[in-house]
Structure 1
Amino acid sequence: MNDELNVDIRPEYPVSWQAAALNGVLRGTMKPMSTILLRNTAGMAVASRLMCLGERVPGILPKHVSIVADRSGPCPGEWVRGGDDLDEGKAVLYFHGGAYFVCSPATHRPITWRLSMTARRPVFSLDYRQGPVHSLAESLSDALDAYRCLLDRGYRPADIILAGDSAGGHLTLATLLSLRDRDLPLPAAAVCLSPWTDLSTTRRRVRGWMDPMLPAGRVDWLARRWTDGLDCRDPLVSPVYGDFTGLPPLMIVTGSTELLRDEGRRVALSARRNGVPVTYEEWNRMPHVFAILADVLPEARLLFRHISRFLGAVGARSATSGVEAA
């Protein structure tokens, strides 16, 4: 069963006209705006306000999707259900991206409701603390608290999946490493979409011109800001330097031209060397976290079928392990 999970996949779908057009729009808008704004605290504040305005625009969700805010636990968030016939005894704990200073569970609903439908279980999307007011350690503390909260509510570790995108992918890997190092029970699997895994002094300019969305210099600037005073090669700061021994199966998804592709690939190779089954998928010419664009990108909708295949293989592996243990 590990052979089914331990695979490299490069989907050969032809690039859709929607993706080609969107890459052009991102290159002409998002990338130059990020280049201008992400230079100081004032610019970050402007970017954050712009994102907040976007959150206030009511999104169009299918009628079968429900969103329920949850403020009862140690960390706020929302429960997202992509249908009525879900297994309520299982859950996905989702960490949204946004470079650790923008976005929220609301901005990532195009991912979370589809992930709920794909995994056939509700998704708890965590509203964790972010910079510049809060540190990486505080974001990680919130993630660990949210996981413990699910355990306290009766969810078995084998019935929990972690998932996240970009900075949320970073938080997913840091959470797994921290859980293992604290001898806490691990979830069944994790899905990382375009994870940001290297916050060290590594420079990404070699791929900077290829990425239609992320400016390399600004990503490097953010990494320096969040790691000021920290050991950049600490695995909880830069998971790419971690020893992944003992972690559950991972799915890592990247785009072939995106800035963070190489560090996602490095995690996949390192985890495999440590004995972790990894499904690594590299999608041709897809932008950073293209799953969030599933309302308009056919490739993004196809990705959720691939996630379904991965989760199915994880479930089959767990069932086989259970039979062997019996």
Structure 2
Amino acid sequence: MGVAMTSRQKRWLVWGVSLVSAAGWLGGFSGNVVGQEANRRPGELPVEASPEGKVYLERLRKNTPFGTNDFDFNGLRAGMGSRRPPTVDGVQLKRVKVGEIPCEWVVAPGAATDVRVLYIHGGGFISGSGGFYLPLASHLSRMAKCAVLLVDYRLAPEHPFPAGLNDCVDVFEWMWDQGPEGVSRARATFVAGDSAGGNLTLATVLALRDRQKRLPLGAIPISPVTDFTLASDSLNSVADPIISSRTMPIFREHYLKDHSPRDPLASPVFADYRGIPPLLIQAGEHEMLRDDAVRVSQRIRETGGKVTLEVWKGMFHVFQSHDPLLPEGREAFDHIAQFVRELVPSR
């Protein structure tokens, strides 16, 4: 029997439903929060999905993945452009502008404001907003004891590659010397993001390295898009319950226009990772981008980088956003928090 949900967990339920409903992925879901925290380190994963995860996946599979029959551009933008309330009590929010780029600080109680994570939202490069990610960002701030900066980078097709990437690079550089309380030097910085934001996480770190700028201590790409040549086997072999592989050529067309899909800053699977800080990459077993995560991890190792790859059994695209409804979501967030904390230097 499941346990009763707290008010914070109920807000997370609304967030999870909103996430999938925004893209037409799921008409509705209700369930209880169950399961215990595991005591595993990053890279150490359960051998199979939890009972709750299996049930959740089956419920997702009863719905049609986004983009299967048509591509609702306006619906995707409207849904993922909406603003969701934080799911952590007492979180502090502060909107700022970096040049003309809208951003928002998210600081949970007890977070260190000199430990800063730039979080880059997903949305296929054509949708999404920082406001939509306030639940995830507030939870990340609480778990990792850090200040999270959400960036509203420019979106395609109005602003194709590399406009959004340049925005992320500019905001990251600004974050070194500007915190939630104003001018202050960061003790530690990180970059994280999911899906399209996972792509931009890798590209931001690569661009900083190439431009000889200050690098973060680490980066966390979640379910990243890494190959716009669309060569990964899982694009066709995996039945992703969240999003159809038919969407990928559409995202590519909007984002890249006529730009080469083999550019390492567009497709990080082709990059050289010498001199790049440690990476933690998470993906789900049942997502079309699984092999994008696997292949870029292989590339990172081959070219001299350090990476921890986690492919979670029975999980789906950006399953972390469904925490705390899933034991896997809670534990994945705990791994991210451990990764951040272990790299932060002492005062």
TM value normalised by structure 2: 0.80
Instruction: Tell me how far apart the structure 2 counterparts of residues 158 and 60 of structure 1 sit (CA, whole Å).
Output: 25
The Cα shift of 1:47 comes to: 2.5
Q: What is the aligned partner in structure 2 of residue 3 from structure 1?
A: none
Q: What is the aligned partner in structure 1 of residue 207 from structure 2?
A: 178
Which stretch shifts more, 99-108 or 189-198?
A: 99-108
- Distance change >3 Å, CA 217–CA 286, structure 1 → 2: same
User: Per residue, is there more helix in 1 or in 2?
Assistant: 1
Contact 1:208 1:216 in 2 (8 A): no
Q: What is the aligned partner in structure 2 of residue 213 from structure 1?
A: 242
Q: 2:126 aligns with which of 97, 101, 126?
A: 101
Q: What is the aligned partner in structure 2 of residue 259 from structure 1?
A: 288
Contact 2:86 2:134 in 1 (8 A): no
Deviation digits for residues 172-224 of structure 1 (CA, Å, limit 9, x no counterpart): 11111111111111111001111111111426566444322221122233224
Amino acid at match of 2:111: L
Contact 1:77 1:124 in 2 (8 A): yes
- Identical positions, percent: 32
- Distance change >3 Å, CA 87–CA 182, structure 1 → 2: same
Aligned residues: 303
SS state at 1:200 partner: coil
Q: What is the aligned partner in structure 1 of residue 11 from structure 2?
A: none
Q: What is the aligned partner in structure 2 of residue 120 from structure 1?
A: 145
TM value normalised by structure 1: 0.84
Instruction: Tell me how far apart the structure 1 counterparts of residues 279 and 86 of structure 2 sit (CA, whole Å).
Output: 31
Contact 1:249 1:314 in 2 (8 A): no
Instruction: Tell me how far apart the structure 1 counterparts of residues 174 and 86 of structure 2 sit (CA, whole Å).
Output: 30
Confirm whether residue 27 of structure 1 aligns to residue 61 of structure 2. yes
Deviation digits for residues 216-235 of structure 1 (CA, Å, limit 9, x no counterpart): 12223322442231111110
The Cα shift of 1:147 comes to: 1.2
The Cα shift of 1:95 comes to: 0.2
Q: 2:114 aligns with which of 78, 81, 89?
A: 89
Q: What is the aligned partner in structure 1 of residue 87 from structure 2?
A: 61
Contact 2:233 2:291 in 1 (8 A): no
Amino acid at match of 1:28: K
Confirm whether residue 222 of structure 1 aligns to residue 255 of structure 2. no
Q: What is the aligned partner in structure 1 of residue 70 from structure 2?
A: 37
Q: What residue ranges of structure 2 are gaps of 5+ in the alignment?
A: 1-40
Q: What is the aligned partner in structure 1 of residue 333 from structure 2?
A: 304
Which stretch shifts more, 234-243 or 111-120?
A: 111-120
Contact 1:248 1:276 in 2 (8 A): yes
Q: What is the aligned partner in structure 2 of residue 199 from structure 1?
A: 228
Confirm whether residue 78 of structure 1 aligns to residue 111 of structure 2. no
Q: What is the aligned partner in structure 2 of residue 285 from structure 1?
A: 314
SS state at 2:114 partner: coil
Instruction: Tell me how far apart the structure 1 counterparts of residues 285 and 234 of structure 2 sit (CA, whole Å).
Output: 15
The Cα shift of 1:86 comes to: 2.0
The Cα shift of 1:12 comes to: 1.2
Q: What is the aligned partner in structure 1 of residue 3 from structure 2?
A: none
Q: What is the aligned partner in structure 2 of residue 9 from structure 1?
A: 43
- Distance change >3 Å, CA 299–CA 203, structure 1 → 2: closer
- Distance change >3 Å, CA 18–CA 87, structure 1 → 2: same
Confirm whether residue 47 of structure 1 aligns to residue 76 of structure 2. yes
Amino acid at match of 1:46: G
Instruction: Tell me how far apart the structure 1 counterparts of residues 249 and 62 of structure 2 sit (CA, whole Å).
Output: 21
The Cα shift of 1:305 comes to: 1.4
Instruction: Tell me how far apart the structure 2 counterparts of residues 312 and 220 of structure 1 sit (CA, whole Å).
Output: 38
SS state at 1:285 partner: coil
Instruction: Tell me how far apart the structure 1 counterparts of residues 186 and 228 of structure 2 sit (CA, whole Å).
Output: 29
Q: What residue ranges of structure 1 are gaps of 5+ in the alignment?
A: 1-6
